[in-house]
Structure 1
Amino acid sequence: MVNATHPGSDVAAETAAALAAASVAFTGPHGDPRYALTLLKHAKQLFQFAKNHRGLYQNSIPSARSFYRSSGDEDELLWAAVWLYIATGHQEYKAYIAGANNVGGVRQSLGWDDKFVGAQALVAKLILQGKLPNNGRHAEMTSNVESFLCNVLQHGDGRSGRLTPGGMLYLQPWSNLQDVTTAMFVLVTHADHLAAASASLQCGGVRLPPAQLVSFARSQVDYILGKNPMKMSYMVGVGKRYPLQPHHRGASLPSIRKYPGKISCGKGAEYFHRSAPNLNVIDGAIVGGPDNNDHYDDSRGNYQQGEPSTYTVAPIVGVLARLLHN
């Protein structure tokens, strides 16, 4: 548990950001204004708690150290402040953004442990909308996120990945598609913000219109859904060919309806080492994806390529929703 004596400002601020963002979604004639106010109330409380009780959550919850270890809390605090400013317009959050000690610089990716790109993209949006001045930390954050996007679009220094021979953005061997889907989400949202302001993305001497950003995102989604050298959809259950052995316990073990008894660790290992397809199809899950030569080894033990995750599939929902309207 995270509390005043066992702080976790990273997870508290991240939760504050989520609640503030949700409050924005539930505000309006088609939402639930009362629920939105409840969400916002707790978002404010958690942000204040995070500021007053700094400390990484794995130091309070040691069991987390070996799995999802946090690298810091400055990104989550900034992320929360930006969302709270969007939700409230209050000077307190605007001042926090302008006075932030660390706004991230040019990041390699957006992910579960690094929210700087997300915060930068939101600040860039607010500047384009005339809700924040284009100076100081605000201008710095806009420059940072645009440099990130230029790198993604292959008009930068390559720190955000290079294209494989088949055209996939490749950054790392372990769950590479998480970096692809998050980058594409930022790409399409920023493209819309630019389009609304009749602006474009400047990458060195190249000016890229919003439509080109969306086109690149579409190419990556097409790759994920089967337009690739393996002719395989990396979203399970989509298309004629997709991974049959994702590294997922619930998918590889029998349903409780077919095996109501307890499955011991030893018994579970038997299912893990089977060469047959998983017993359950986890429709909609996205696996880690192929390597830098577009090869995918569909083996349950290949966790780097075969492990699905919520932080990989969640961003593509937004990207797909955007592409449906293009």
Structure 2
Amino acid sequence: MEKNNRKQKDHVGGSKPPRFVQHGYLFLFFFFTLFITTQSKAFDYADALSKSLLYFEAQRSGRLPYNQRVTWRDHSGLTDGLEQGVDLVGGYYDAGDHVKFGLPMAFTVTMLSWGAIEFWQQIADAGELEHTMEAIKWGTDYFIKAHTGPNVLWAEVGDGDTDHYCWQRPEDMTTSRQAFKIDEKNPGSDLAGETAAAMAAASIVFRNTNPHYSHLLLHHAQQLFEFGDRYRGKYDGSVGVVKSYYASVSGYMDELLWAAMWLYKATDNEEYFEYLISNAHTFGGIGWAITEFTWDVKYAGLQILASKFLMEEKHKKHADILEKYRSKAEYYICSCLNKNNGSNVNQTPSGLLYVRQWNNMQYVSTASFLLTVYSDFLQNKNQHLTCHGGIVGHEEILNFAKSQVDYILGLNPLNMSYLVGYGSKYPNRVHHRGASIVSYRENKGFIGCTQGYDDWYNTQKPNPNILVGALVGGPDLQDNFDDQRNNYMQTEACTYNTAPLVGVFAKLLHTENKKLVHDFDSILVSSI
């Protein structure tokens, strides 16, 4: 009876469209499918975004959570801080070894947070917001532990020299886990400043979803900034073991300005803005024209953020200082675009930005990020950039950033993706202890220091575990790349290489999707 009623409704009530309309729908469906396949993107930014976030799970130290997706990793570093009577379990290994270095870890979290703030909606639309926030929180949870007193911050766990004698999985670690700190007598304004910046930026990320946690992060950030500002000094002068690995060449003034910037963005407290203005000259904020942005040198990022204040009415009285910040920001952008009179960033024959031979991709990913952010800024304000080499629009800037990202993903002479696990060809002998040795989940048999070198490091076989989402050091000045485990200048990956790309991948995915819809609409209209 029910079936008959339904049939009658279809026939009498007219809920089915007429046959010619059905054919129209089918035509549209097939036309759209054909359009998508013929217009398919050269690169799958959605896949790159998802994979980039997996990398941070591979770099986790501590007790891994139940929802850990990188299953070849297991718990490690579970006694970190025990010798010093403090809980320092957690955080990230920065690269292919097992030292937890505070400065690059903090910069990684700052960049992940900045990406989430700038491209929140794009990351959410891609379905990766939760994983992005998890990656940030894994770092900030550790910073909360490491900040054991208002003027105490644990700077490092492990020792680079002894760690490098061993080639072991993190789960088997037998190397020293001694921890080192900064305090009133042993200052480290650069480390305190960057950690404050990371926590302030993260507090913005968690403001709506976890207000209590956001407030806690802000409290720590404010204390750390005060500590770094009051007891001034370079952290590598207090923690000597870090000098061979993450020496603070640029000093601490950029980090203090950087921290003040993020605290102002997080609190809207004018005292932090006044700090940016009053110290702009003496701290080099408007003096240094820089052509790189790294875990050590924050000026370019600071200058780009300061440029945005020029558009706000309440900051008009400081327009002269803000103009100087902006002029230095634009010097950086123009240098990447090869449009400065004189100092430009070198490029390989195929157009990859090239700063130096050791882990060059870190400079490429941070440049791609800053270019993307500045392109958005110019577009939103309907402005353009004036370089010595001519006037530049926001589209040209974004297209150049895209060219760098596409090179990373495989548009290069070797047709190789330097983002591990993406595409069909990528480095498979990444300089990384955990990835290059059989998974602890598969084989719990202990692997010692030298055994790791003998059995795993020196083999020509591909790594048994794929370090998905890792951005390796990349090619040399001539676009050459040698995929060898001992070629650590090119095959080692770092957390701060991948971190800036998270936001950029989301932005490029959004832009490509918009363009696809626009192109389809245009073709559809012209065909009617």
Relative to the length of structure 1, the TM-score reads 0.95
SS at 1:65 equivalent: helix
Which residue of the partner structure matches residue 32 of structure 1? 210
Mapped partners of 1:161, 1:205: distance in 2: 14
Q: Quick one: which of 174, 177, 182 aligns to 2:358?
A: 174
Identity of aligned residues (%): 44
- Per-residue CA deviations over 1:42-81 (Å, capped at 9, x if unaligned) read 1111111111111111222221111111121001000001
Q: Against the structure 1 CA distance between its residues 158 and 259, is the aligned structure 2 distance closer, same or farther, given a 3 Å change threshold? A: farther
Indicate conservation of the 8 Å contact 2:341/2:388, yes or no: no
- Per-residue CA deviations over 1:279-321 (Å, capped at 9, x if unaligned) read 1110010111111111110111111111101111111111111
Instruction: In structure 2, list runs of 5 or more residues that go unmatched.
Output: 1-180, 512-528
Indicate conservation of the 8 Å contact 2:339/2:389, yes or no: no
Pairwise CA distance, 1:231: 0.5
Mapped partners of 1:70, 1:37: distance in 2: 29
SS at 1:92 equivalent: helix
Indicate conservation of the 8 Å contact 2:336/2:344, yes or no: yes
Which residue of the partner structure matches residue 13 of structure 1? 193
SS at 2:315 equivalent: coil
Which residue of the partner structure matches residue 76 of structure 1? 255
Matched, 1:189 2:373: yes
Aligned letter for 1:52?
Answer: R
Indicate conservation of the 8 Å contact 2:336/2:345, yes or no: yes
Pairwise CA distance, 1:251: 1.0
Q: Which has the higher helix share?
A: 2
Aligned letter for 2:253?
Answer: E
Pairwise CA distance, 1:117: 0.9
Aligned letter for 1:153?
Answer: L
Mapped partners of 1:46, 1:34: distance in 2: 19
Aligned letter for 2:497?
Answer: T
Which residue of the partner structure matches residue 487 of structure 2? 302
Mapped partners of 2:266, 2:469: distance in 1: 31
Mapped partners of 2:301, 2:389: distance in 1: 25
Matched, 1:280 2:465: yes
SS at 1:235 equivalent: coil
Which runs of structure 2 are paired with 1:1-326 in the superposition (5 Å)?
1-28=181-208, 31-71=209-249, 72-100=251-279, 101=282, 102-103=284-285, 104-130=287-313, 132-133=315-316, 135-157=319-341, 159-204=343-388, 206-270=390-454, 271-326=456-511
Pairwise CA distance, 1:151: 0.5
Mapped partners of 1:211, 1:194: distance in 2: 9
Question: Quick check: which has more Rg, 1 or 2?
Answer: 2
SS at 2:465 equivalent: coil
Pairwise CA distance, 1:33: 2.1
- Per-residue CA deviations over 1:100-149 (Å, capped at 9, x if unaligned) read 11215111200010111111111012223445336333221110010110
Indicate conservation of the 8 Å contact 1:169/1:180, yes or no: yes
Higher relative contact order (CA 8 A, sep 6+): 2
How many residue pairs end up in the alignment? Answer: 324
Q: Which moved more, 1:66-75 or 1:131-140?
A: 131-140
Indicate conservation of the 8 Å contact 2:347/2:354, yes or no: yes
Q: Against the structure 1 CA distance between its residues 129 and 197, is the aligned structure 2 distance closer, same or farther, given a 3 Å change threshold? A: farther
Pairwise CA distance, 1:23: 1.4
Pairwise CA distance, 1:172: 1.1
Indicate conservation of the 8 Å contact 2:375/2:398, yes or no: yes
Indicate conservation of the 8 Å contact 2:197/2:259, yes or no: yes
Indicate conservation of the 8 Å contact 1:105/1:141, yes or no: no
Relative to the length of structure 2, the TM-score reads 0.60
Q: Against the structure 1 CA distance between its residues 22 and 197, is the aligned structure 2 distance closer, same or farther, given a 3 Å change threshold? A: same
